[in-house]
Amino acid sequence: MTFSIHGLAVARGIAIGRAVLVASSRVDVAHYFIEPAQVDSEMLRLVQARDAVHGELQSLHDTLPKDSPPELAAILEVHLMLLHDEMLAEGVTHWVKDRLYNAEWALTSQLDVVARQFDEMDDPYLRERKGDLEQVVERLLRHMKGEAHVVPHVSSKRSGQSRQQDLQLEDSMDVPLVLVAHDLSPADMLQFKQSVFAGFVTDVGGKTSHTAIVARSLDIPAVVGARTASQLVRQDDWIIIDGDAGVVIVNPSPIILAEYGFKQRQAEVERERLSRLRHTPAVTLDGQRVELLANIEMPEDSPAALGVGAVGVGLFRSEFLFMGRIGALPDEEEQYQAYRRAVEGMKGLPVTIRTVDIGADKPLDRAHKEEAHLNPALGLRAIRWSLADPAMFLTQLRAVLRAAAHGQVHLLIPMLAHAREIKQTLALLDQARSQLDARGEAFGPLKIGAMIEVPAAALTVKMFLRHFDFLSIGTNDLIQYTLAIDRADESVAHLYDPLHPAVLRLLADTIAECRAQGKGVSVCGEMAGDPALTRLLLGLGLRSFSMHPTQILAVKQEVIRADASRLEAWAQSVLLSDDPAELMGL
Ligand code: PEP
Ligand code: MG
């Protein structure tokens, strides 16, 4: 039966493929494809975990105190039975052998399949056994997590597999796969970055949640905030993701499939057309030069930035080097090498490295998320986190300074609000320089910038400009904090409004003050990459935009069609309007 699910459109385009479900589990589970050669060792990990859990349950059973209630022994027997359940074992083997899922992913996928069958049972006693099965699987997962097991990178493209493996995967190889999950952490998304998915859908998340941002950087159609999608969609269902409309169509009829196939081809033609603008200078009709920069998450993203003609990196979100790791944070050498790769990858163009912005919806891992402050967006995040751990921060500052010996590097500090934080940050930067001097280590000059992400900062721009060489406006957070809307919460997504007059006022005043003082200012939030807002930002005086490489050509098209001086008066009228969106016809 065909049905559709509505969510939020976060990454454009149409994807058509079979659903791959990432089941949610209470235990943090890594999801990645293994190489065919790893199948046996993956199966062995499962067997070892099963044997260990068997031993654990058996010894619990055998050592129950004499006076314990008889139900306890019965429950443990049920758990032992479920541990050896054939359907569980066969299913897990299928996911590992035929689909090349890692063991943990295979377990949670099969749990999902079996749990649905329990849900459909008439007998209430049997229905309740679902909870027992979940506990057994959780025990298995915890056992596997206890292993010193490093999450490998997502396996290389499946097209690189042997012919024999191709045959094994024949039913799934030929069709694109789309990922459906309750939630994906930004770290999960990075894992999927080099993988095979043609699109993805999540139940939760807002338009500028970090998961959505990474999706946009992958340039694959995506819908977030689709609420119950992961429960409604079944493994292997055919689905269409309409990333422009924010709609997911499940089990489409042949007519709908044909219609979307047509739309998909049209989008490809449009993409092809835009790609011709790659070498066109970003200059408005009235001759104003506009700087179009790239936002990147990893040094390996720099070729994509160069490929679309970015004139530098306006935001390197360094926290992605820190996330999804098991054990220690990256040390100075590892960070230095990563920043250096980004700098060298940009072939002499400037690279703006933002210091780590951990916290809120970018926890280091899920365990930290659970411990996190109740309202993490207002808690120990970004520069607050860095200043709370000076040794960690100094390590990052030294690494950035060293990378600056290899090219033009700008340092960008997120989420500042207080003069005190600015002073502490600059003092630590001086200390990092002295430490490198003392070691006789080479380092280069840095331009230092602050992000304007908190209304308090936007209202004290003059103070910021006394200390910094440039400012970069993080509209994603500026909107969140101005309107008191959690950017990751789909239930308030309809109130997240980049065109709210208060947001526009803060933006306009920040840009105007920087221009008046001759200091550089850019926007690096998602607003910069939205072609529907390019003319407004130009009219407000913005000449530097930083966005995902995937957005650059569409924004460039707007720039070269715009007459910036004529847009000024219009932008002022938008600024004064009660309903800017209506005035702009959006
Ligand atoms: C922003 O807040 O606009 C920004 C660019 O930073 P991030 O999205 O990483 O919080
Ligand atoms: Mg931010």
380-393 confidence digits (pLDDT tens): 999 999 999 999 99
Q: Evaluate whether residue 207 is within a structural domain.
A: yes
pLDDT for 68 beyond 50: yes
**Highest mean pLDDT: which range of 224-233, 320-329, 371-380:** 224-233
Cβ proximity of 377 and 440 under 8 Å? no
Which ligand has the nearest atom to the CA of 476? Answer: 1
Distance 320 CA to ligand 2 centre (A): 13
Of residues 13 and 65, more confidently modeled: 13
* Whether residue 210 lies in the annotated active site: yes
Q: Is the domain of 74 the same as that of 161?
A: no
Residue 266 has pLDDT above 70, yes or no: yes
pLDDT-based confidence at 370, cuts 50/70/90? very low
| DSSP helix/strand/coil, 512 | helix
Asked if residue 443 has pLDDT above 60, the reply is yes
Confidence of residue 160 (pLDDT cuts 50, 70, 90): very low
Give the domain-ending residue among 82, 116, 144. 144
Question: 458 and 540, same structural domain?
Answer: yes
**246, 332: one domain:** no
Give me the catalytic one of 31, 143, 500, 524. Answer: 524
Mean pLDDT of 153-162: 31
At 225, which CATH number?
Answer: 3.50.30.10
Q: 310 and 441, same structural domain? A: yes
Using the predicted structure, report yes or no on whether residue 444 has a pLDDT greater than 70: yes
Residue 466: C-alpha distances to residues 374, 443, 508 (Å): 35, 25, 19
Looking at the fold, whether 237 and 309 belong to one and the same domain comes out as no
Residue of 79, 182, 210, 548 marked catalytic: 210
pLDDT given for residue 153 in this prediction: 29
The residue count of the chain comes to 586
Ligand nearest to the CA of 213: 1
> Is 54 an active-site residue?
no
The answer to whether residues 542 and 395 belong to one domain is yes
Q: Is residue 266 part of a domain?
A: no
Domain contains 30: no
pLDDT of residue 190: 65
Statement: residue 186 has pLDDT above 90:
no
Candidate ranges 71-85, 156-170, 183-197; pick with highest mean pLDDT: 71-85
Mean pLDDT over residues 270-294, rounded? 95
Q: Which residues surround ligand 2, an ion (CB under 5 A)?
A: 453, 474, 477
Q: Are residues 20 and 40 in the same domain?
A: no
Q: Which residues constitute the domain of residue 554? A: 279-366+378-583
Positive/negative CA dihedral, 351, 354, 360, 364: positive
State the DSSP code for 244.
T
* CATH code of the domain in which 97 resides: 1.10.274.10
Residues 6+ apart with CB under 8 A from 154: 32, 33, 191, 192, 193, 194, 195
In this prediction, residue 502 carries a pLDDT of: 98
Q: Which of 254, 287, 312 is the last residue of a domain?
A: 254
| Mean residue pLDDT across the chain | 87
Q: Write down the pLDDT at residue 3.
A: 94
Do 125 and 167 share a structural domain?
Answer: no
Same-domain status, 453 and 356 = yes
- For residues 434 and 315, membership in a common domain is answered with yes
Cβ neighbors of 462 (< 8 A, separation 6 or more) are 513
- Per-residue pLDDT, averaged over 16-42, amounts to 83
Averaged pLDDT, 41-54: 93
Q: Are residues 185 and 318 in the same domain?
A: no
Decide the pairing of beta strands 470-473 and 520-523. Answer: parallel
Of 237, 254, 271, which residue is a domain's last?
254
CA atoms of 240 and 252, how far apart (whole Å)? 7
- 549 burial (CB, 10 Å; 0-12 / 13-18 / 19+) is buried
pTM listed for this prediction: 0.75
Q: Number of folded domains in the chain? A: 3
Q: Say whether both 173 and 307 belong to one domain.
A: no
- Whether 6 shows a pLDDT value over 70: the answer reads yes
Given a contact cutoff of 8 angstroms between Cβ atoms, the answer to whether 411 and 400 are in contact is yes
Backbone angles phi, psi at 156, to 5 degrees: -60, 170
Question: 332 pLDDT exceeds 60?
Answer: yes
In the chain, what's the furthest Cα-to-Cα distance? 89
Please work out whether the CB of residue 324 comes within 6 Å of at least one atom of ligand 1: no
What's the pLDDT tens digit per position in 238-249? 999 999 899 999
User: Is 283 part of any domain?
Assistant: yes
> Which residues, at least 6 apart from 473, have a Cβ–Cβ distance to it below 8 Å?
451, 452, 453, 458, 507, 510, 511, 521, 522, 523, 524, 525
Cβ(453) to ligand 1 under 6 A? yes
Q: What is the CATH number of the domain that holds 557?
A: 3.20.20.60
> In the numeric block, which tokens belong to residue 202?
């999540």
- Tell me the HSE value of 429 on the side-chain side, using a 13 A CA sphere: 22
Given a contact cutoff of 8 angstroms between Cβ atoms, the answer to whether 233 and 213 are in contact is no
Nearest ligand (C-alpha, residue 473): 1
Q: Is the pLDDT of residue 254 over 70?
A: yes
> Residue 460 — very low, low, confident or very high, per pLDDT cuts 50/70/90?
very high
pLDDT band at 191 (very low <50, low <70, confident <90, very high): low
For the Cβ of 474 lying below 6 angstroms from any atom of ligand 1, the answer is: yes
Report, as an integer, the average pLDDT of 14-25.
83
Instruction: Return d(Cα 178, Cα 188) in angstroms, integer.
Output: 15
Task: Identify the residue with better confidence: 408 or 325.
Answer: 408
Per-residue exposure over 46-71, b if at least 16 CB sit within 10 Å of its own CB, e if not = beebbeebeeebeeebeeeeeeeeee
Using the atom order of ligand 1, give the atom closest to the CA of residue 472.
Answer: 5
Which pLDDT tens digit goes with each residue over 101-148?
A: 999 989 988 988 888 888 888 877 777 778 788 888 888 988 887 743
